[in-house]
């Protein structure tokens, strides 16, 4: 026989899952971010039937786009640059930026890099500076059998609650957080 409190848990759990599922689906199916006005106006030139008017439109809009670029009102990037930017920001928590760095399809969940310098605080926790100047700090109390050294390869992957697991040349995992 079920306890009185147990009879209410299952329906409440089912109801909460039913409410959460459509919300998760909506987030996944969001439209891509709107293009900047300068790009939309440039694309609109393609629809002009008269060749000389179309050319004049393209000339005008490309000029506007160049001015916006020089004034730093619009920024251009390619997929590879966006991927490098995401990699450089790995370990920091940011709100969803609507695909500003190329979308979530290439989300980075782990990186391989090389340690440039190592220091240890009074409690025996490591601070690791990587070759790309990223600084990672140990947040658990795991003791490593060998102290990390500059030049060693390190694999860092996403863990839970904003932390990351790191293994230095395949050794024991320690928990880190990105400091800067």
Tell me the pTM. Answer: 0.51
pLDDT in tens, 3-40: 554 454 444 444 444 444 444 444 445 555 667 788 88
Report which listed range, 50-64, 73-87, 96-110, is most confident: 50-64
For the chain, give percent helix, strand, coil, nearest 5: 35, 20, 45
What are the φ/ψ torsions at residue 83 (nearest 5 degrees)?
Answer: -65, -40
CA-based nearest residue to 134, from 156, 152, 149: 156
Q: What percent of the chain has pLDDT over 70?
A: 68
Contacts of 117 (CB under 8 A, 6+ apart): 128, 129, 150
The chain-wide mean pLDDT, for the chain, equals 76
pLDDT in tens, 64-83: 888 888 888 887 777 777 76
Answer whether residue 135 shows pLDDT above 60. yes
CB 45 within 8 A of CB 65: no
The reported pLDDT for the residue numbered 69 is: 83
The reported pLDDT for the residue numbered 32 is: 57
**Least confident span in 35-44, 83-92, 151-160:** 83-92
Please give the residue that has the higher pLDDT: either 172 or 18: 172
**Confidence grade of residue 114 (pLDDT, cut at 50, 70, 90):** very high
Torsion, Cα of 98, 104, 110, 114 (10° steps)? -60
């Amino acid at each position: 026989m079920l306890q009185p409190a147990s009879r209410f848990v299952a329906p409440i759990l089912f109801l909460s899952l039913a409410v959460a599922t459509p919300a998760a689906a909506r987030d996944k199916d969001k439209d891509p971010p709107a293009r900047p006005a300068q790009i939309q106006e440039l694309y609109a030139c393609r629809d002009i039937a008269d060749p000389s008017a179309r050319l004049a439109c393209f000339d005008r809009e490309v000029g506007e786009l160049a001015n916006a670029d020089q004034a730093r009102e619009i920024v251009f990037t390619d997929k590879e640059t966006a991927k490098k930017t995401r990699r450089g920001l790995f370990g920091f928590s940011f709100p969803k930026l609507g695909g500003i760095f190329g979308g979530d399809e290439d989300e980075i969940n782990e990186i391989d890099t090389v340690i440039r310098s190592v220091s240890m605080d009074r409690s025996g926790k490591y601070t690791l500076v990587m070759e790309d100047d990223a600084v990672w700090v140990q947040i658990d109390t795991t003791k490593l059998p060998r102290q990390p050294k500059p030049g060693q390869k390190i694999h860092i992957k996403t863990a839970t609650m904003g932390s990351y697991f790191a293994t230095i040349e395949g050794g024991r995992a320690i928990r880190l957080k990105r400091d800067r």
